[in-house]
Amino acid sequence: MSRTPTPSFAGGPAAHPHPEAHSERRIRTFHPRRGRVTTGQAAALERHWAEWGVDIDGSALDLAELFKGADLAPGRPVILEIGFGMGVATAQMAAADPGTGILAADVHTPGQGNLISLAERDGLSNLRVANGDAVILLRDMLAPDSLAGLRVYFPDPWPKARHHKRRMIQPEFVSLAVSRLRLGATVHCATDWEPYAEQMLEVLSADPHLTNAYEAGGYAEPRPAFRPMTKFEQLGLDKGHVVHDLLFTRTV
């Protein structure tokens, strides 16, 4: 049986946005996934990537310029979301908070196309999509104190012990991310993998610039209402997993 070919599209996200990134001697938390892009996703990328997309190539990024044309007043907050899957929850949060810019980073091309398609359908001018390695984005492209928040929802838990070093929420990553957050900014993580939730809580609690938003010093219970339930999350709940949210604020 022949397969339907993946549509080709010009002017969309680059397959290798930072060609030298692979030579960096550091552990990767992800595998780039171009994936099978539908005709609709490819068309959305062709129409809007130049306006709403950014390749993570290491060049300094001016957030005011990036969100030019959005209905954001100067100085309005921008939140970075890392790993948005197919973008459904991201689009819902953008629609619920039109005064906040959301810079959503991922390496999954079908998800990038789907999120841009949702933004087009719903008229979400406050969404921008970044393609590539979030570490390079934070380290080389975003200025200190430029973000109002960081969201990391359901990152790969890398459950095998020998792979734990690949988990995103590690002290070095958190320290880098916090340096790009302004005072009062929030870090919001969520996972349905209990051991990873415990690691997240330990790492975030140990950062001297962050304070747990919950007086008890534990998880955010119940789930914050502004974070929509995702399809992936529901699958985990159906399997008996327990979802933990963590909310921290930069106070120093």
Q: Annotated catalytic sites, by residue?
A: 156
CA distance 220 to 202: 14
CA distance 93 to 227: 7
- Around 83, how many Cα atoms within 13 Å sit in the side-chain half-sphere? 21
- Consecutive H or E run containing 129: strand 127-131
SS3 189: strand
Q: Report yes or no: 180 and 146 within 8 Å, Cβ to Cβ.
A: yes
How would you classify the pairing of strands 53-55 and 127-131?
A: parallel
Single out the residue of 70, 126, 73, 139 nearest to residue 95, CA to CA.
126
Paired tokens of 190: 């969520």
Single out the residue of 118, 133, 137 nearest to residue 66, CA to CA.
137
Q: Report yes or no: 112 and 44 within 8 Å, Cβ to Cβ.
A: no
Is cis: bond before 222, omega within 30 of 0? yes
CA distance 33 to 29: 13
